[in-house]
A and B are shown apart, each in its own frame.
Chain A
Amino acid sequence: DSGVTQTPKHLITATGQRVTLRCSPRSGDLSVYWYQQSLDQGLQFLIHYYNGEERAKGNILERFSAQQFPDLHSELNLSSLELGDSALYFCASSARQGPYEQYFGPGTRLTVT
């Protein structure tokens, strides 16, 4: 158990809908990263927050957004969902900024039908 929690574990929804994925980092970790894992793209970095502020963006679509709240939990919002958004979404946390070890949650499997 990494100490990172993600909810829900599974999510099935229809095209055009909007969903919110939630992540709670390890106790004391200020950095939260979001990644998408799909068969064709592998593991891709989406976005990084540190202590409530956005620090870096990766291959994140404009339909996707995220935020980190004062209690350090983070939410990833996916809207206008398409079939191609079906993937595993991971949250990871780290104690510091920078290229240090990250601890991953169990992921949310999103299926768009």
Chain B
Amino acid sequence: AQSVTQPDIHITVSEGASLELRCNYSYGATPYLFWYVQSPGQGLQLLLKYFSGDTLVQGIKGFEAEFKRSQSSFNLRKPSVHWSDAAEYFCAVGAYNQGGKLIFGQGTELSVKP
């Protein structure tokens, strides 16, 4: 069965430091991968997506993610974190043979220290 694992429940980084959030997936075919961000009391906002092609994808708010098939990973990165990046981040895989539903990881909560 398809699944997504985000190994880190909570991460704290200092403002201005670099960030990497980990995501591992289990999926038989070529995965459609997404990162979403959820601020408190808000809906989920799409940061970036990967369908095929270049394995390094750029998203909004200065985020990027790299697809590594050999490691079944799709890690999210940002070179310099801002206090406004504090939120919960979700990695998801799109299940093509199940109506296109998204299967989400458990989320990583990001705190930013001043």
Chains A and B form a bound pair: yes
**Residue tally, chain B, CB below 8 Å to A:** 25
Q: A42-B107, A43-B90 are in contact. Are A98 and B42 (CB under 8 A)?
A: no
B104 touching A105, Cβ below 8 Å: no
Residues of A at the B interface (CB closer than 8 Å) are 2, 4, 31, 33, 35, 42-43, 45, 48, 50, 55-56, 58, 90, 92, 94, 97-107
Closest A residue to B97 by beta carbon equals A99
Instruction: Tell whether A101 pairs with B43 under 8 Å between CB atoms, given A48-B99, A56-B98.
Output: no
Chain B residues, Cβ within 8 Å of A104? 36, 43-45
In the complex, whether B53 has a CB less than 8 A from a CB of chain A is no
B32 adjacent to A100 (CB under 8 Å) = yes
Q: Of the candidates A4, A43, A90, A98, which one forms a contact with B100 in the assembled complex, judged by CB atoms under 8 Å apart?
A: A98
Contact status A103-B101, CB under 8 Å: no
Using a CB–CB distance below 8 Å, which chain B residues touch chain A? 32, 34, 36, 42-46, 49, 51, 90, 93-96, 98-107
Cβ–Cβ contact A106 & B42, under 8 A: yes
The distance from the CB of B86 to the nearest CB of chain A, in whole angstroms, is 19
Contacts of B93 in A (CB 8 A): 99
Which chain A residues border B49 with CB–CB below 8 Å? 101
